[in-house]
Amino acid sequence: MAQEIRIPDMGDIDEVEVIEICVAPGAEVGPNDPLIVIESEKASMEVPAGVGGIVEVISVAVGDTVAQGHLIARIDAGNGARVVVSPPELEPDTPADEAPTTEPTPATPPAPTQEPRTLEVRAPDLGDAQGVVVIEVAVMDGQAVTADDLVVVVESDKASMEIPAGHDGMVMEVHVRQGSEVTEGTLLVTLQAGVGTTAKHKPAAEVKPPLVEVQKTTDQAPPTASKGHRPAEAGAGSRVYAGPAVRRLARELGADLTAVTATGNRGRIVKDDVKTFVKTRMTRGPSAAAGIPLVPEVDFSKFGPVRTQPLSRIRAVGASNLHRSWLNIPHVTQHDEADLTELETFRSTLKPEASRRGVRITPLAFIIKACCYALKEFPTFNASLDGEAKNFILKDYYHIGFAVDTDQGLVVPVIKDADEMGIWELSAQITELAEKARAQKLEMRDMQGASFTVSSLGAIGGTAFTPIINAPEVAILGVARLTTKPVWDGEKFVPRQLLPLSLSYDHRAINGAEAGRFVSHLSELLADIRRLSL
Ligand code: CAO
């Protein structure tokens, strides 16, 4: 049986505008589901179905002006159903100065004086609305506001109400936060009027109702930003024009309404705007979804000819991994120089034997060997943090990843149990895995299980760089170019071959002193490779 749903009694309000249609014909609704959102000069409110059933027809359109009794929709509610459409509970979205009938907390207008005084902004009459909560705090301590500036938005299950400062001044303290429950008279914000603000003072007659003067003072210092609660949501001073259903949806989806582009009447945000916003953020990558400001997309062809070249699969995967590590790990990089003079002399003596063995021997094998020694001495560098960063997962194996530059991008093959290998075997492993990487022949297992990574740019150049940790590892060693430098030996400058080392570490797992000790120890091992045999 079809039930006619009509605009209910709206109290003093004669006519309202339909600003949103919440359902389409054919939709199944429950009694509390909103059919439409209507708006007067002062308030917006949802009109619920009042009965469960299937919507047969919607008889209004966005922009229609309607009055009490106007047919909204017909709902097939089945036999015996009775329609109960309650009048809206909260008058709202209304600055208190425009709503004299809702003036609950009688205002005591402050005297027209320039002397500093403390004023309170309290919750006005909320009608008989139940469970009214703060959904937005739009100011922060120390912020200058004018009388019309929004300070707090509250919401019941039917409507939302914006509460303005009501007076020019400076916010001394915000007493509520997002989620705080409020009733009539709840103290929301304390303002200081008369000093330290850039806001213009208005005559006493313009003081808004929810404001109550509580004390006078002449020497109070302007409040500092560290006092009281911080705003919990939205930028300071932001204004959002959206109905309760839209605000609820935005909260559920974690969307910041101040960033949503409104397409509704008079700049009102409608549900589709929130959905479009979330969809766009999701498709534009994790940064957008995480609320990180996006780099603007620029049409470079405005400035000159351009070509588009897709990233190789390896480069795209690498980019995503590097970005993930960068966002999740607080990186710090410790720089040092290791004296490789003796090592290089020794290495040059090995070259004839290396060519007989068909192996290339570079400093990297020694570096990896030394890293294994240092990792054994400092086990928290050969570790990962668990998901909540409450425990180390210490690894009793030494699988060392090393970055290889290929045509397709960066890959990191892993030398398993590198600590058990001598220099010849390490050299052979480096050569074999690097060749496999460049021929794109690496298998998944060749790239898994690293407990620490070395990235050597030594053959390419550079004096130092800040490598990005290969999460979930906690450290990575960057190696730059070996150079001969004059070093003071206590009596004179002598030429020494110095190797720049750059250790990036996860500062949650490792502190600076530990990193310093690790790199110093590594440098000592490389400076005197006899220690690697101890
Ligand atoms: N300083 C000076 N010379 C160095 C050096 C250093 N730190 N490291 C290596 N060299 C020398 C080598 O000794 C070799 O010269 P000789 O043959 O005369 O001995 C020459 O440079 C070429 O070395 P190589 O690069 O072929 O070999 P390697 O073992 O040093 O490195 C590999 C192998 C696969 C790591 C390297 O080729 C590579 O791809 N590096 C790039 C890594 C990279 O892109 N990292 C950045 C990642 S972003 O964090």
CA–CA distances in Å: residue 388 to residues 274, 384, 391, 489:
31, 11, 8, 48
**What's 288's domain CATH number?**
4.10.320.10
202-230 b/e with 16+ CB inside 10 Å = b?
A: beeeebbbbbbbeeeeeebeebeeeebbe
Residues 104, 122, single domain; the answer is no
Domain contains 167: yes
CA of 450 to the centre of ligand 1 (A): 20
Based on the fold, state whether residues 318 and 440 are members of the same structural domain.
yes
SS3 for 163-201, per residue? EECCCCEEEEEECCCCCCECCCCCEEEEEEECCCCCCCC
Ligand 1 geometric centre to CA of 378 (Å) = 26
Does residue 76 lie in a domain region?
yes
Q: Cβ atoms within 10 A of the Cβ of 80, count?
A: 6
- On whether residue 15 sits in a domain, the answer given is yes
| Residue that finishes a domain, picked among 52, 79, 108 | 108
Q: 3: burial class by Cβ within 10 Å (0-12, 13-18, 19+)? A: buried
Same domain, 391 and 528: yes
**133 and 241 belong to one structural domain:** no
Q: Which is higher by pLDDT, 86 or 203?
A: 86
Q: How far is the CA of 326 from the centre of ligand 1 (A)?
A: 25
Neighbours of 425 (CB within 10 A): 14
Residue 236 lies in a domain: yes
pLDDT higher than threshold 90 for residue 450: yes
- Residue 9: give the domain boundaries: 1-108
**pLDDT tens per residue, range 28-70:** 888 888 888 888 766 678 888 888 899 999 999 888 899 999 9
Q: What is the pLDDT of residues 282-335, one digit of tens each?
A: 776 666 666 778 888 899 999 999 999 999 989 999 999 999 999 999 999 999
Within a domain: 414: yes
43 lines ligand 1 (CB under 6 A): no
* 288 and 250 within one domain: yes
The residue whose C-alpha atom lies closest to atom 49 belonging to ligand 1 is 467
Tell whether 386 and 506 lie within a shared domain. Answer: yes
What's the CATH number where 389 sits?
Answer: 3.30.559.10
Report how far residue 156's alpha carbon sits from residue 86's, in angstroms, rounded to the nearest whole number. 15
What pLDDT is stored for residue 104 in this prediction?
Answer: 34
Within this chain, do residues 273 and 365 fall inside the same structural domain, yes or no?
no
Q: Mark whether 377 and 494 lie in a shared domain.
A: yes
- Tens-place pLDDT, residues 399-438: 999 999 999 999 999 999 999 999 999 999 999 999 999 9
Examine the fold and report which residue of 108, 127, 159 is the final residue of a domain before the chain moves on. 108
Q: Identify the band that residue 97 occupies on the pLDDT scale cut at 50, 70 and 90.
A: very low
Q: Report which ligand 1 atom has the smallest distance to the Cα of 455.
A: 45
Alpha helices (H) along 195-308: 244-253, 271-283, 286-289
* Residues 233, 381 within the same domain: no
**pLDDT: is 253 or 512 the higher one?**
512
CATH number at residue 155: 2.40.50.100
Q: What pTM does this model have?
A: 0.57
Q: How many domains does the chain contain in total?
A: 4
Residue 327 lies in a domain: yes
Are 104 and 121 members of one domain?
no
Last residue of a domain, one of 108, 132, 154: 108
| Active site residues per annotation | 507
For residue 308, is it within any domain? no
Q: What is the pLDDT of residue 10?
A: 79
Using the atom order of ligand 1, give the atom closest to the CA of residue 482. 1
The reply to whether 123 and 93 lie within a common domain is no
- Residue 309 in domain: no
Whether 172 and 254 share a structural domain:
no
Does pLDDT of 98 surpass 80?
no
Verify whether ligand 1 is closer than 6 Å to residue 479 (CB atom): yes
